[in-house]
Amino acid sequence: MTAIDHNSLLASTQLVIEQALQRLGYGQDMVDLMKEPLRMLTVRIPVRMDDGKVQVFTGFRAQHNDAVGPTKGGVRFHPDVTEEEVKALSIWMSLKCGIADLPYGGGKGGIICDPRRMSFGELERLSRGYVRAISQMVGPNKDIPAPDVMTNSQVMAWMVDEYSHIREFDSPGFITGKPIVLGGSKGRETATAQGVVMMIFEALKVRGIALKDARVIVQGFGNAGSYLSKFMHEAGAKVVGISDVNGALYDPEGLDIPDLIDRRDSFGTVTNLFKNTITNEELLVQPCDILVPAAIENQITEDNAHQIQASIIVEAANGPTTIEATKIVTERGILLVPDVLASAGGVIVSYFEWVQNNQGYYWSEEEVMQKLQQLMTQGFNKVYETHQMKQVDMRLAAYMVGVRKTAEAARYRGWV
């Protein structure tokens, strides 16, 4: 057997997919089908920059598996986007949709760029160019993009407008995460954070920990992390630590979250305003009840897993805990709620947006949150029951629940 690079998102994802399918009784043919996307498109996007020069950007779109239905997943703008990362994230989207029982397969897209160094006009031209480049393989019944890292409702608005020009009819269901006035869903902006909070509540229940004054550390203070901190603070928990790319703040008595949110910039940085900061690495091992990695991948590793002092880890980021670290924290009795379950709120409310677009009838935010709560809680219960019944860690349990629907659909179609 070839050596596995456990720090590689794709390799580690494929390893757990294989374990999950084997546990479910599928053969190697199903593993071979599920470990890679069915389609992977690489595009080159020429953009006229503000200085008059043309810069060519590289973009990707992966469609993991459409046996269940259209593929679904975000588009990220980031300088470190890679083909391998996009492939792994498309597989995770299939798992999220399976856990939430949505009629989708997983998709994912990305463009290698740094939006922090681009003007508004340059970002618009890049967004529209990406849609033109991938327009043949996306659509409301084929593949439905959404916001992701460093993209937002404005980027989605440009993309849906460009798609409507290409198709010559209004297609609000082509993309989700749109502004409300263009067919977006109420509750979509905060959906990922709300879903994570719901999973924290469920984890606290099974661990018998009271929410009031529970100590929470949130690594990352971007869109998801700041909303998470706000919701937990408002619920009565004590947020004792937060971090951004510049460093971290920790106070065992609790941080003033509303003040930090008011002072953060548009990229979620606030720690540069303080002198008594610690590093992100130091924050992860501080005492707390709930640790929420909401930043980037591979933050909890075999090097620091033994030092984690939390009772519960809830992964809001993609892949923050390595396979080895998952094993270590599980053996130490820490309850880990994996990313494919904890961060499914975004795709669930994206599904609600797509449904509302298709039927032309829009729901109140209360109705959206009620439906989100129902699907997130059902997902947690299925994963936790599998974890207990099959005596596997929560990550493998989530993969088993998540991959089953797509595997069964592929089997019924006669693909394997």
Among the residues of 186-296, which ranges form H helices?
A: 191-207, 223-235, 257-263, 280-284
**Is residue 65 a known part of a binding site?**
no
Q: What angle do CA 327, 332, 333 make, to 5 degrees?
A: 100
**Is residue 72 a known part of a binding site?**
yes
**Is residue 212 a known part of a binding site?**
no
**Is residue 96 a known part of a binding site?**
yes
Please indicate whether residue 327 is annotated as part of the active site: no
DSSP letter for each residue of 179-210: -GGGTPPTT-TTHHHHHHHHHHHHHHHHHT--
| DSSP strand pairing (247-250 vs 238-244) | antiparallel
Are residues 289 and 201 in contact, defined by beta-carbon separation less than 8 angstroms?
Answer: no
Amino acid letter, 345: G
**Is residue 12 a known part of a binding site?**
no
Per the residue annotation, which of 35, 87, 108, 186 is the catalytic one? Answer: 108
Cα–Cα distance between 166 and 175 in angstroms, integer? 14
- What are the DSSP E strand ranges found in 307-361? 312-314, 335-337
Q: Give the number of other CB atoms < 10 A from CB of residue 347.
A: 27
Residues that constitute the known binding site: 72, 96, 192, 223, 350
Active site residues: 108
Residues that constitute the known binding site for NAD(+): 192, 223
Residues that constitute the known binding site for substrate: 72, 96, 350
